[in-house]
Chains A and B, each alone.
Chain A
Amino acid sequence: MSLLRVRDLRVNYGGIEALKGISFDVEKGQIVTLIGANGAGKSTTLRAISGLVPVKSGTITYDGNVIAGQQPQQIVSQGICMVPEGRRVFPNLTTYENLRIGAYLRKDDITADVEHVYQLFPRLKERSWQLAGTLSGGEQQMLAVGRALMMRPKILMMDEPSLGLAPLVIKSIFEIIQTLHDEGITILLVEQNANAALRIADYAFVLETGMLGMQGTGHKLLNDPGIKAAYLGSGA
């Protein structure tokens, strides 16, 4: 059975229907990516799964339990963590505090986890006492990822982790995603950078203005002429 199962999910913002009944599965241990144009509803999907926006109808089940309708803190506590769009680190907290707050719900010792994050992102270790608001964009993105790891997520949802980053940093972010995947974390990745996302994805879905379009393995979509034209640009 899939780890995360979304069925006929609808989300409204006021009168606007942002998601018009989408269904998809995320299999345990896979990297699944959601690609689509601006405003297609990718972030809305992740936010609905996190419990940040109310679900109008449809179901979301995680590990067999319905989570749609639960409070965000209940959902996080089950190991569904998110790296939100635009990083959203807490600028008035230090790097270290941002990591600590990522483990807010945990009662056990977190030193090993902090070390683990510092191993993945040595630059964060050097800046552990720096206010997160003063970190560079790339460092903030690393911190946002590290912060989500502090909950020891079962599913990590990442909303455009490569946005606004230099090519070299993007490369290292995707390497990290691969590392996390190797560690056994299931990943649901939303990306504008469809090319890179499809390359590492086991499975991919295309979202088109609130509805699901094509789906298939990353490899299949990468070579699909329609996808190439619409999302991968001429250079792909």
Chain B
Amino acid sequence: MWNTVFPYLLSGISVGGQYALIAIGYTLVYGILRLINFAHGDVFMVAGIVMVYMAASGLPLWLCIILDLVATSIIGFAIERVAYKPLRTAPRMSIMISAIGVSYTLQNLVLYITGGLNQIYPKIPWISDSIKIGSATTKVVTVVTPILTILLVVALVLLINHTKVGMAMRAVSKDFETSQLMGININGVISVTFVIGSFLAGVGSVLYFTNYTTVIQTSGAMPGLKAFVAAVFGGIGSVPGAVIGAFIIGIAENIIKGLDIILFKAGLTSGPMGLAIFSDAFTFALLIIILAVKPTGLFGEKSIDKV
């Protein structure tokens, strides 16, 4: 039984970590701007495309990864400055629409550049290698992901709770005006938030695409949506909430993928029942349930504006 479940659990934890890295971007930006950044999944996808082209240029891969993360951070920064900052005092809905516009712009740009063809993600040594853990054969990245995710989350939480810029982020997330009275440059703090979110999505993309090996202009949609659900599930605005939500979704989704085999091997069913098909549906069912039962999510603030 355990041997059947274990590989699914392992890949669930890994995918969960990748979702977590994306989900943090949603939750941080929401926390500070009360904006659901619809373009975030596409930033994640663009990070994948940038990596593909960077690797094709012949630069060493380690340098490509660094440059990719820098580029992704800059893209996140630039999106905020160009598409959201001018709308700072506009109604929330305008910024939301701007975010949707950015999302399609990025997708179309990538469609134009790639011609809509699947791009093969570079095979990064070591993390692409296969390893055997117990009953599971998997890539090293599967094991690296949750560890790296946890390390980054711990670093982020320390940054938010114990540094000056983190304190400013917490202050700005509550009250723009009073933050300005303290001498905080709120645009600077908002930029920092976007840079952190995009950087983490960039890290997530390296891990995710090493696992899935191809990138196309729509590659950001599903993981973006799942990460968004994770952030809502955990309580949007909360970093630990987003991370826990992401792991729960990643694990549940992968267990469902393996449910046919798991149930069969356990002798509970006599043949395949096609349950794997529900793995995506589960995530969205979860979204509906959480919105109905506890709209603020697991760790959400009590008062949340309707968007």
Q: Point out residues on A near B: beta carbons under 8 Å.
A: 50-52, 71-73, 76-77, 81-82, 84, 88, 90-93, 97, 100-102, 104-105, 147, 151
In the bound complex, residues from chain B placing their C-beta under 8 Å from that of A101 are 167-168, 171, 182, 184
CB within 8 Å: A-B pair count: 55
Tell which of A93, A102, A104 touches B170, judged by Cβ atoms closer than 8 Å.
A93
Asked if B135 is an interface residue, CB under 8 A from chain A, the answer is no
Q: In the assembly, what is the distance between CA of A50 and CA of B184, in Å?
A: 13
In the bound complex, residues from chain A placing their C-beta under 8 Å from that of B168 are 101, 104
Among the 9-residue stretches B7-15, B148-156, B172-180, B277-285, the one with 4 or more Cβ atoms under 8 Å from chain A is B172-180
In the bound complex, residues from chain B placing their C-beta under 8 Å from that of A52 are 177, 180-181
B89 → A minimal CB distance (Å): 11
**C-beta contact mask, B178-210 vs A, less than 8 Å → 1, else 0?**
101111110000000000000000000000000
Q: With contacts A93-B167, A97-B167, A100-B167 known, is A105 near B174, CB below 8 A?
A: no
A171 → B minimal CB distance (Å): 26
Tell which of A73, A92, A100, A102 touches B180, judged by Cβ atoms closer than 8 Å.
A73
A92 → B minimal CB distance (Å): 6
The 10 closest A-B CB pairs, nearest first, are: A105-B183, A72-B180, A76-B183, A88-B178, A73-B183, A104-B182, A90-B171, A104-B183, A101-B182, A82-B181
Quick one: which of B147-165 are within 8 Å of A by CB? Answer: 164
**B174 in contact with A92 (CB, 8 Å):** yes
Q: With contacts A101-B167, A101-B168 known, is A90 near B180, CB below 8 A?
A: no
In the bound complex, residues from chain A placing their C-beta under 8 Å from that of B175 are 88, 90
B301 nearest in chain A by CB position: A92
Q: With contacts A101-B168, A101-B171 known, is A73 near B178, CB below 8 A?
A: no
